[in-house]
Amino acid sequence: MLHLLPLSILALLPLSTSTPLTKSTPLPLIIWHGLGDNYDADGLHTVGDLAIETNPGTFVYYIRLDENPDSDKTATFLGNLTEQIAQVCADLASHPILSTAPAVNALGFSQGGQFLRGYIERCNYPPVRNLVTFGSQHNGIAKYQACGPTDWLCKSWIGLLKGNTWTQYVQAHLVPAQYFRSTNDTTGEPDADYLEHSNFLADINNERELKNATYAANLAKLDKFAMYVFEDDTTVIPKESAWFAQTNLSSGHVTALRDRAIYKEDWIGLKALDEKGGLDFKTTKGGHMALSDKVLVEVFETYFAPGKAKKASWDGVVDRVQELIEL
């Protein structure tokens, strides 16, 4: 008796007569966009198309919090990150293709990078094999970004954020506030308000006294975690946050990740990952999210090509799907 895969799976597979599925088919790629963007944006799909062109057969999934693009964009400003990441965990775990893969690769743009890391630490099913982030605020932001002259949504939440960052309402509703990190002006270390009230960042960075061992275990399982800093980034303050560095804005002194307690005491698995050669610090020219095709292709070839992924049960799934396609 022939057991057919559901039509919903076949409809989503990256089928092409010129690039049939083979055992060298790359792992699926999940992409999480940044603030003010949406999963259906042309620019984001251009990135996905380039990933497919570089590694034919790649199945690309654009993470979304709502099927309506406008609502998905609004969710980058408004929402509770704990609830949003739980929703993404449920969506990916129930996805007909992603849930059958032995692993996926992940690409995060700006705030989407630390959200993907939150996904890995908190649920990680399907598990992420390689994570690449561009200009992400892994160690938080010390200032909120400036709004465009006609970006009224941005202007409205910036107005609410001023002086209200640590209120329960703001921490439960305004996304950028949940990765804001306030520090002591003298030491540069996180202050009491942040440690007590942060809804997201203080938790996934395991900065509170009680540590979550699962977070460290999950992140340490990655093969590669590549973190890109934009050399001329003036949107993310401080830009070194993309490397988990801590910057004292008063003195300008930057404490590199390897000199910080989060690394030395391995709060989230970065030291274990680094010791096995899995932590890459990268820079790219230009301002925030000024990405060239050349840089993206290099990422796709270096971190997401089939030869970079350990093959497991995905080969069996590929065999079965190709068999059904040819019927």
Q: Which residues are catalytic?
A: 110, 233, 288
| Whole-angstrom distance, CA of residue 129 vs CA of residue 104 | 6
CB 133 within 8 A of CB 227: yes
Q: Which residue has the tokens 């609830």?
A: 83
CB 264 within 8 A of CB 270: no
Which residues does residue 105 pair with via DSSP β-bridges, in sequence order? 29, 130
Q: How far is CA 326 from CA 319, 321, 322, in A?
A: 11, 9, 6
What size, in residues, is the chain? Answer: 327
CA atoms within 13 Å, Cβ hemisphere of 144: 20
| Whole-angstrom distance, CA of residue 38 vs CA of residue 32 | 9
DSSP strand E in the chain: where? 29-32, 60-62, 104-109, 128-134, 224-230, 246-247, 254-255, 279-284
Q: Is the peptide bond before 190 cis (omega within 30 degrees of 0)?
A: no
CB atoms within 10 A of CB 65: 21
Q: Which residues contact 42 (CB under 8 A, 6 or more apart)?
A: none
| Whole-angstrom distance, CA of residue 128 vs CA of residue 119 | 9
